[in-house]
Amino acid sequence: MGTYLLPKSSIHLWLSKLLSRYAVFVPIEVEKQIHWHLLEPKDLETEPDSITPAQRRIRASEPVKSFMFEPRQQVASFPDALTFKQPGPRVLLGIKSCDLAALKVHDKILGEGEFKDPFYLAQRKNTLLVVADCPEPEQSCFCNLLGLTPYAAEGGDAALSVVDGNWLLDVNESGKELVDAAPELFTDLREGSSELARRDEQRHAALVSLNLTNARPWNPDLAGAVAAKLDDPAFWNKHAETCVECFGCLMGCPTCYCFLLYDQAKGAGVERTRTWDACYEAAYARVGGGANPRAEFIKRFANRFSCKFSAFKTDHGMYACTGCGRCFKACMGKIDIRKVLGEL
Amino acid sequence: MSNPYQPIPATILETHDETPNIRTFKLKPEREIPFLAGQFVELTVPGYGEAPFTPSSSHFKRDTFDMTIMKVGRATSALFDLKPGDRVGARGPFGQRYPLEKFEGKDIYIVGGGVGLAPLRALFLALVHEIGKYQRIFLRYGARTPADIVYKHLLPEWQKIPKVDIDLSVDVSDEKWMKKVGVVTCLMDEIPCDEKSSIAVVCGPPIMMKFVNQKLLDAGFQGGDIYLSMETNMSCGVGQCRHCRLGPYLTCKDGPVLTWDQIKDLENPFV
Ligand code: SF4
Ligand code: SF4
C-alpha cells in the first residue's frame, strides 16, 4: 500500500491510538532476554525508546505460535458442545522474519486443507503482524541458511525498520488500518529517499553479519540428505549423546505443532483440552494395544529431523525450521541443530 | 466454522458380547456420521478420553452404526462399563475409504485376525450389498481359540450368500472345532482366485499382517492390490497432531488403510 515515516516524536502518540483499538503486544527486554509484553497506557509515559519494540535485536524467547496456537486450550466439551468465543483484535508489534515464517508452517497445518482449526484461525485473523527488522542478528541466528532474510521480505501486515530513531513502515493493504488509526502522524516516503537508503544499508549489514556467522552453506537437498541418513543410527547416536529428553527444544520451537488432546471430567460433563506435545516423548507414537514404533529414543530423535526437513518439505514445499536458534539456546546438552544439519 | 475436535453425542442402543473381551456396541448418533467402509470414527468415552475405531456395520445404513471393540486399556475398559441408554461421543468420519470402484469385477480376498475382523465386516457388508459388481468374495479368518471368534452368530449366515466363500482357523482348538488349526496363514496355502488380478484386504495384529502380506506377495498378488489396515496412534483424526505419522503418511488422513506399495519402503511398517 505505501511506505511511511513516523517521526520519533509521534511514536507514542500512534501507540496510544492503537491501544484504543487493539490489544498491542510488544517485545521488551528483561534481564537481557526478550519477552512479549502487553502494552499498557502507562508504558507510554516513559521515553519513546524505553518501551517501543523496534530496537529489539532478535526474536522474543517465546515462540510466536503461543499467540495463535495456545499452549493449553479447551477445544471441545461433552455432551454440550463448546461455545466459541470470538477473540478481540490484536497487534503483534515487532515479530521477526523468522516468526513470520514459523506462522506459515502453522497456517499449512491448522489453517488450510479439509479440516481447519477454528481456534487458530480466529486468533490468526484477528491479529495484525508488524514484522520488525533485525538490526543485529545474534550468534544463534541462522535464518539465512534457510532462505530467509533478517527483515520481512514479504507477508505480514506491515514491516517496521528503525532509522535514526524514527520508524519506517512498509504497509500492506491488509495493514492499512494501522495507519488509518492516526493518518496525520505519517508522511509518505518516496523511493530514493535518504531514509530508505539508510534502511537498505542497515538491512544489508544485518545480512552480511549473518552470512559471516553462518558462512558454510548446507547440503542443498536437506530433505533427501536427512531421509538418506535415517538408517544410520551411528549418526543420530553421535548427535543425541548429550540429550536429556527435557523437550525444551520442541516446546520452544516456533514451528513445532504436534499436540495432545485429553479429556477431563468436569461436573456431569467432559472438557477436552489441547496442549502442545513433544515427539521426543516415549509414548508419543504408542498405540492403544501397547506397540510402539519409536520405542528407542534415537528413533524419536531422528524423527524430529525427518519431520522438519524431509516430510514437511515434501508435503508443503518448505522446511519446518526457520533458523531462530531457540532449540539450542534451550538445550542443556548443547546440541546445536546447525552442527547436525551441517554434517549431512 | 465447524470444530473438528467436538464430538457429537451417540446413544448406546444395544451391546453384544462377541468374546469374553470383545463387544459390539450399536450406536445412534445425534446426527448421521457419513462414513464409508475403511474410514474411522473417534469415540469419546466420557471422562476417559478418545480412541479411534472403524465402524463394523454397513455404510448403506447409517442412522445407527456398530463398533466392535476389544477391551485393552483405560478408555475401552470404561466403555465396557457403559449400558444401553448411556451416551458416548463420536466425531468423524476420518481417513480414506476403500476404493471400491477399483474392486469391481474382481475377486476379493479378505484376511482377518482376531478383532481385526471388525473393520473388515463394514467392507464385507458393503461388498455383499452390491454383490453383482464383484466376482467372488473370500473371507479367511483366524482367531486364537473358538471362543475368541467374533461374529460367531453371523458367519453361518454370511456363508450362505452366493459368491461368498468363508474359511476359519484357530491357533488353539477345542474338542468341538472341526476346521483348521493354526495361524491364519494356514488357510492360505491354496488361494482360489487369480492372484495377479485380485484384490487382497488384510486387518489384524501387526505380526499377523506381516506374515499374511508376505504370503500374498509370494502367491503373486500385486503390491498395489494389497490393502492393509495400519495401526498407529491416531488422535486428532484430521492430520494435525502428528501422532500417527508413518513415514511420509499420516495414517489418520492418508489411511488407516494403505497398500503394500505405499508402505513397502518403510523401515519396519509392522510394529
Ligand atoms: S533468526 Fe533471523 S529473523 Fe530470526 S531473529 Fe535471528 S536474525 Fe532475526
Ligand atoms: S528447529 Fe530450532 S532453529 Fe529451527 S525453528 Fe525450531 S527452534 Fe528454531
Q: Does the structure show a pLDDT above 70 at B36? A: yes
Q: How many CB pairs under 8 A join A and B?
A: 118
First and final C-alpha spacing in chain A? 42
Give how far B271 is from chain A: nearest CA, Å: 6
With a 6 Å cutoff on the Cβ, whether A98 touches ligand 1 is yes
Q: What is the pLDDT of residues B182-239, one digit of tens each?
A: 898 888 888 888 877 899 999 999 899 999 999 999 999 999 999 999 988 888 888 8
Closest ligand 1 atom number to CA of residue A206: 7
Q: What is the pLDDT of residues B89-145, one digit of tens each?
A: 999 999 999 999 999 999 999 999 999 999 999 999 999 999 999 999 999 999 999
Q: Does the structure show a pLDDT above 70 at A50? A: no
pLDDT of residue B270: 79
Q: Does the structure show a pLDDT above 80 at A226? A: yes
pLDDT of residue A55: 60
Find the A116 Cα to ligand 2 centroid distance in Å.
Answer: 24
Give how far A274 is from chain B: nearest CA, Å: 9
With a 6 Å cutoff on the Cβ, whether A27 touches ligand 1 is no
The CA-atom distances, in angstroms, between B154 and each of B141, B160, B180 are 13, 10, 19
Average pLDDT for residues B49-61, to the nearest whole number? Answer: 94
- Residues of chain A in contact with residue B46, where contact means CB-CB under 8 angstroms, are 78-79, 263, 265, 269-270
Q: Check if the beta carbon of residue A247 is closer than 8 Å to that of residue A283.
A: no
Report the distance separating Cα B62 and Cα B67, nearest Å. 12
**Nearest residue in A to B88, CA atom:** A79
pLDDT of residue A295: 84
With a 6 Å cutoff on the Cβ, whether A44 touches ligand 2 is no
Question: At B245, is the pLDDT very low, low, confident or very high (cuts 50, 70, 90)?
Answer: confident
Question: At B269, is the pLDDT very low, low, confident or very high (cuts 50, 70, 90)?
Answer: confident
pLDDT of residue A60: 92
Q: Residue with the nearest Cα to atom 6 of ligand 1? A: A141
The closest CB to that of B48, out of A115, A263, A285, belongs to A263
What mean pLDDT, rounded, does chain A reach?
Answer: 92
Q: Does the structure show a pLDDT above 80 at A51? A: no
Q: Which CATH number fits domain B100-229: 3.30.565.10, 3.40.50.80, 4.10.80.400, 3.40.50.300?
A: 3.40.50.80
pLDDT of residue A54: 57
Instruction: Tell which wins on pLDDT, A51 or B258.
Output: B258
pLDDT of residue B192: 86
Instruction: Tell which wins on pLDDT, A98 or A287.
Output: A98
Q: What ipTM was assigned to the predicted interfaces of this complex?
A: 0.84
Tell which residue, B269, B148, B131, has the closest CA to residue B213: B269
First and final C-alpha spacing in chain B? 37
Average pLDDT for residues A13-34, to the nearest whole number? Answer: 93
Question: At B172, is the pLDDT very low, low, confident or very high (cuts 50, 70, 90)?
Answer: very high
With a 6 Å cutoff on the Cβ, whether A255 touches ligand 2 is yes
Q: Which residues contact A168 (CB under 8 A, 6 or more apart)?
A: A3, A4, A5, A6, A160, A161, A162, A189, A195, A196, A199
Strand locations in B49-136 (E):
49-53, 65-70, 87-94, 108-113
Question: At A53, is the pLDDT very low, low, confident or very high (cuts 50, 70, 90)?
Answer: low
Q: What is the pLDDT of residues A258-310, one digit of tens each?
A: 999 999 998 888 999 999 998 988 888 888 777 888 888 899 999 999 999 99
Class level of CATH domain B8-94: mainly beta
Which residue out of A34, A55, A58, A255 has the highest number of ligand 1 atoms within 8 Å of its CB and is therefore the one to mutate? A58
Q: Check if the beta carbon of residue A123 is closer than 8 Å to that of residue A91.
A: no
Q: Do B46 and A78 touch (CB under 8 A)?
A: yes
- Residues of chain A in contact with residue B241, where contact means CB-CB under 8 angstroms, are 258-261, 277
Domain spans, chain A: 2-213, 222-342
Chain A contact probe: residue of B72, B207, B243 with most A CBs at under 10 A: B243
Tell which residue, A113, A296, A188, A153, has the closest CA to residue B268: A296
The residues on B that touch A, with CB distances below 8 Å, are 1-9, 44, 46-51, 72-73, 75-76, 87, 89, 205-206, 231-233, 235-236, 238-246, 248, 267-268, 271
- Residues of chain A in contact with residue B236, where contact means CB-CB under 8 angstroms, are 259, 261
Count Cβ atoms below 10 Å from residue B30 Cβ, excluding itself.
14
pLDDT of residue A286: 83
With a 6 Å cutoff on the Cβ, whether A337 touches ligand 2 is yes
Domain spans, chain B: 8-94, 100-229
Question: At A175, is the pLDDT very low, low, confident or very high (cuts 50, 70, 90)?
Answer: very high
pLDDT of residue A48: 63
